[in-house]
């Protein structure tokens, strides 16, 4: 009908018209077992042809994955054409120890650090800086900058970090991290595009001109995402619960619903001018690959990747 068509137009082009003019990045976690290692490398192999701007590897709570994060990042740097970024946190380590980790990355040819405060090893307890440690991400960025010419990304929270005194103080903190030398912020995951747009406006009004890249979490396990969201202050809209309701025994249908929702979120962000997307892959490629494909991104040939 006329009305249907008018509505479509007001929402912008459908997937068929999206140009694939995206920059994507993918986040992985360091594998614990051989089987997980295989899964990670299979995901990296699948996603590499999409020519991500960078891929990053997380750092476990309390520095528990220090070696594994290093080994994974160093192997990506050595064996793939990808730019590898290492997450690094301030938890349970002195400045000297953290500086040593950073030096080892620099020596391994890694030029990009995602600098974070981190969470205490025991969930629910308050963060206590190490007596000789960095007190938060802003100090860490400053410390890293003094040592090496790293590209530095930091975290940002469209729905405000749970420990922040206020939304404004959280933005002030983001500004300190950028002023200390970070070049971009990657956001915590969120499920409504408006959350991101409101945050982008507030950030711009605060005079922050660094890139703010939305972190996209495709939901493969709704119960797990609900738990994570509660911990990190992310709103899970009631409509999402209704959409996953009744799918516990239907994993394939759940994947389809999940891909659809995440693609819809990305499409809304795209319509609002977003061209950079960071995917929390949880070491699985398919959902992220499908979403990138829907947004028009296509694999590059090997020669282009190496160029
Ligand atoms: P900070 O920027 O230091 O902020 C922490 C809190 O302190 C905020 O509430 C801030 O508002 C407040 N604050 C800071 N300075 C001040 C001040 N001067 N006055 C008042 N308030 C202040 N965690 C991991 O353990 N490993 C990872 O690999 C990891 N990767 C992540 C990747 C992304 C993209 C994101 C979004 C998060 C990641 N996290 C990771 C989680 C992160 O470590 C936690 O969210 C942590 O609680 C905060 O880290 P931050 O770097 O944002 O801290």
Predicted TM-score (pTM) of the model is: 0.94
Q: Give the pLDDT of the chain (307 residues) as one tens digit per residue.
A: 444 444 444 455 678 778 889 999 999 999 999 999 999 999 999 999 999 999 999 998 777 788 999 999 999 999 999 999 999 999 989 999 999 999 999 999 999 999 999 988 777 788 889 999 999 999 999 999 999 999 999 999 999 999 999 999 999 999 999 999 999 999 999 999 999 999 999 999 999 999 999 999 999 889 999 999 999 999 999 999 999 999 999 999 999 999 999 999 999 999 999 999 999 999 999 999 999 999 999 998 776 776 6
Ligand 1 atom nearest to 56, measured from its CA: 28
161 lines ligand 1 (CB under 6 A): yes
Exposed (0-12), middle (13-18) or buried (19+): which is 293, by Cβ within 10 Å? Answer: middle
How far is residue 221's CA from residue 252's CA, in Å, rounded to a whole number?
A: 12
pLDDT at residue 1, rounded to an integer: 44
Q: Which of 118, 189, 208 for mutating ligand 1's site (highest number of atoms within 8 Å of CB)?
A: 118
pLDDT at residue 7, rounded to an integer: 47
Block residue for tokens 């992310």: 234
Structure tokens at 28: 């992985």
Q: Which of 60, 127, 173, 278 for mutating ligand 1's site (highest number of atoms within 8 Å of CB)?
A: 173
Backbone angles phi, psi at 71, to 5 degrees: -60, -40
The string of DSSP codes covering 28-58 is E---SSHHHHHHHHHHHHHHGGG--SEEEE-
Residue 211 annotated among the catalytic residues of the structure: no
ipTM at complex level: 0.99
Residue nearest to atom 37 of ligand 1 (CA): 155
Residue nearest to atom 30 of ligand 1 (CA): 58
pLDDT at residue 304, rounded to an integer: 72
25 lines ligand 1 (CB under 6 A): no
What ranges in 112-250 are assigned the alpha helix state H? Answer: 137-147, 167-179, 193-205, 222-232, 238-244
168 lines ligand 1 (CB under 6 A): no
**Which position among 11, 27, 107, 286 bears the catalytic label?**
27
170 Cα–ligand 1 center, Å:
10
Ligand 1 atom nearest to 155, measured from its CA: 36
118 lines ligand 1 (CB under 6 A): yes
């Amino acid at each position: 009908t006329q009305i249907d068509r008018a509505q479509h137009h007001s929402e912008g082009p459908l997937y068929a018209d999206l140009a694939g003019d995206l920059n994507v990045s993918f986040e992985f976690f360091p594998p614990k077992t051989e089987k997980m290692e295989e899964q990670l490398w299979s995901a990296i192999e699948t996603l590499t042809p999409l020519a991500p701007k960078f891929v990053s590897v997380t750092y476990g709570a309390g520095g528990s994955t220090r070696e594994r994060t290093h080994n994974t990042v160093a192997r990506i740097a050595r064996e793939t054409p990808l730019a590898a970024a290492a997450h690094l946190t301030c938890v349970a380590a002195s400045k000297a120890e953290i500086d040593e980790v950073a030096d080892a990355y620099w020596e391994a040819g890694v030029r990009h650090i995602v600098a974070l405060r981190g969470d205490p090893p025991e969930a629910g307890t308050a963060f206590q800086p190490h007596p000789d440690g960095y007190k938060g991400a802003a100090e860490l960025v400053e410390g890293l900058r003094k040592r090496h010419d790293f590209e530095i990304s930091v975290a940002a929270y469209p729905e405000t970090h749970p420990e922040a005194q206020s939304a404004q103080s959280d933005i002030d903190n983001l500004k300190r991290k950028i002023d200390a030398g970070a070049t971009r912020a990657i956001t915590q995951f969120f499920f409504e595009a408006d959350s991101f747009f409101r945050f982008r406006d507030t950030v711009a009004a605060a005079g922050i001109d660094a890139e703010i890249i939305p972190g996209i979490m495709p939901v493969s396990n709704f119960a797990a995402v609900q738990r994570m969201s509660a911990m990190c202050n992310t709103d899970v809209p009631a409509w999402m619960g209704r959409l996953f309701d009744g799918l516990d025994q239907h994993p394939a249908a759940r994947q389809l619903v999940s891909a659809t929702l995440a693609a819809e979120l990305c499409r809304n962000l795209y319509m609002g001018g977003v061209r950079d997307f960071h995917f929390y892959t949880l070491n699985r490629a398919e959902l992220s690959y499908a979403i990138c494909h829907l947004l028009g991104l296509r694999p590059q040939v090997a020669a282009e990747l190496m160029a």
